[in-house]
Amino acid sequence: MLSVFFFAVSFAPTLHAQSIENIEQNVTEFTLDNGLHFIIIERDVAPVASFVTHVGVGSVNEQIGQTGLSHVFEHMAFKGSTTIGTTNWEEEKVIIDQMDDAYLAWLKESRSSSPDEEKLSELWDRFEKLQEKAGEFVVNNEFSQIVEREGASGLNAFVSADETAFFYSLPENKAELWFALEADRFMNPVMREYYIEKDVIMEERRDRVDNSPFGRLIEELISTAYSAFPYKHHPIGWPSDIEAVTIQDALDFYEKHYVPANMTISIAGDVDPDRMKTYAERYFGDMPSAESPPKVMTIEPEQRGERRFVMEEDGQPVLMIGYHSVDMNHPDAVAIDLLSGVLFEGRTSRLYRRMVTEEQKALQIGGLNGFPGSLYPGLFLIYAVPNQGVELAEIEEAVYEELDRIREGDISEREIERVRTNARASAIRGLASNQGMALNFAQAHAKRGTWQSIFTDLDEMEKVTPEDLQRVVDTYFVKQMRTVGTIQTRDSETASR
């Protein structure tokens, strides 16, 4: 705790150019010949290190009919490799290949215009027998057990619209073990227990989306707000796509996206940069180089008018508004991020103070820029839960009133400075731990081209004026560019109509 406090105090005053210079002294960067980039951050506060493998792939990169594939592969990365998690890979692979063929045959018959039920039953029975046979070779959770036995903590991963990241911490004297295991699982991936894990993912979808009113509202909002751009697909995937993707689909996806040029590895802790480079060359140097996958070329067409939808549910009403915004590298991105803070960040923000504290019309109200992703133009998302007896229309109108106030110039430098202060504090918190620093540096490098953007964005925020907020509200927060979705309590008298 003392080390975190010291870090915060020492960096709180500026977090500008001087801070970059201070941190640069402890950062070593290098790129292997195959294109894999490493960031090593020396922090000797404890004899541990955090390791992050960042891959520039998310749901935005998935093809129609294969939504959710990023999430599927993220699960597969914990199933071991050709040497870990199996008693006999050669024999296991033969069964896995047969199992995939059997599943594909069942899938084709099930999706035909007039499926033969008897044939379906036979095909499914063959698939299940092969799946059971493949399971005989599996050493359950061997990868996780190895790293946890060696003192690992925080073993996890996440997938979003824009990215996938894998991370955990180890004692610093286990760094070479991390390199050996991480290179093995990403250079020798296996689709072990693939269809069993897809059932787990389907259950996650039911929990997070299908059985969650808020989750259903989010999915409906993004699929309504976007006509063409793949942000319209929820990162967890559509149920029929999750069912349909095969092992071969996952392997093809891996070969396209899990290439060195599309990956960043960041290590923060009590480590020696020269030794880390030696390990990197030893374990990752043979990873085949390949072209970085192409950027998404689809451009969302200009919205022609406000879009609205209503979902009738038995539970709590909810309001959600999405305005088409800009990508994180756009010159207006920082100003729009700052606007989000003015409106929603903390108890003294405009809409929280007005709707929750003073008028007590909302139980919750919030917003953020860059949803569901920010690498490409995302949405400025606003959501609110009304207090009992309050109509959603009252809260919606209040949102527009506050935007209009800013549009007309009713915005003070004091409000902007409050958000700047909070942004600096947030940056400090994100860099106060090895894991936070490693993840933030990897993300900044992969998405912005340099970890220094963590600090230069704060510099850019210092330049934002009240007039800039007026301009972005007038440019982007207009009726034509918004999608409004609501959950309204079902009327028992009309529910069956």
Strands of 318-324's sheet, edge to edge? 307-313, 482-489, 318-324, 379-386, 362-371
Q: How confident is the model at residue 12 (pLDDT cuts 50, 70, 90)?
A: very low
The span from the CA of 399 to the CA of 354, in Å, is 10
What per-residue confidence (pLDDT) applies to 92?
Answer: 97
pLDDT in tens, 405-433: 999 999 999 999 999 999 988 888 888 88
Q: Are 53 and 165 spatial neighbours (Cβ–Cβ below 8 Å)?
A: yes
Task: Output Rg (C-alpha) for the chain, integer angstroms.
Answer: 25
Average confidence (pLDDT) over 364-387: 97
CA-CA distances (angstroms) from residue 469 to 8, 337, 339, 380? 29, 10, 7, 14
Helix (H, G, I), strand (E, B) or coil at 380: strand
CA-CA distances (angstroms) from residue 360 to 305, 352, 390, 394, 415? 32, 9, 9, 12, 22
What per-residue confidence (pLDDT) applies to 19?
Answer: 61
The token pair at 329 is: 């590298």
What per-residue confidence (pLDDT) applies to 4?
Answer: 32
Average confidence (pLDDT) over 340-362: 95
pLDDT in tens, 362-375: 999 999 999 999 99
Give the residue from 70, 79, 299, 309 showing the smallest Cα distance to 190: 79
Long-range contact set of residues 428-432: C-beta below 8 Å, sequence gap at least 24: 428/7, 428/8, 428/11, 428/12, 428/15, 429/8, 430/454, 431/7, 431/11, 432/4, 432/7, 432/8
What per-residue confidence (pLDDT) applies to 11?
Answer: 38
The span from the CA of 238 to the CA of 417, in Å, is 42
The span from the CA of 210 to the CA of 109, in Å, is 26
Q: Are 98 and 156 spatial neighbours (Cβ–Cβ below 8 Å)?
A: no
H helix intervals, 12-141: 17-24, 69-76, 89-110, 117-135
Helix (H, G, I), strand (E, B) or coil at 15: coil
- The pLDDT of residue 492 is above 60: no
The token pair at 271 is: 């480590």
pLDDT in tens, 119-146: 999 999 999 999 999 999 999 999 999 9
The token pair at 362 is: 């909302």
| Mean pLDDT rounded to a whole number for the chain | 92
What per-residue confidence (pLDDT) applies to 428?
Answer: 82
Q: Are 385 and 315 spatial neighbours (Cβ–Cβ below 8 Å)?
A: no
- The pLDDT of residue 495 is above 50: no
Q: How confident is the model at residue 22 (pLDDT cuts 50, 70, 90)?
A: confident
The token pair at 191 is: 């689709």
Give the residue from 71, 61, 317 showing the smallest Cα distance to 205: 71
φ/ψ of residue 16, rounded to 5: -115, -145
- The pLDDT of residue 14 is above 50: no
Residue in the structure block whose two tokens are 């999608």 = 483
Q: Are 257 and 439 spatial neighbours (Cβ–Cβ below 8 Å)?
A: no
The token pair at 11 is: 């960096």
pTM: 0.92
Burial of 362 (0-12, 13-18, 19+ CB in 10 A): buried
CB atoms within 10 A of CB 320: 23
Average confidence (pLDDT) over 273-301: 96
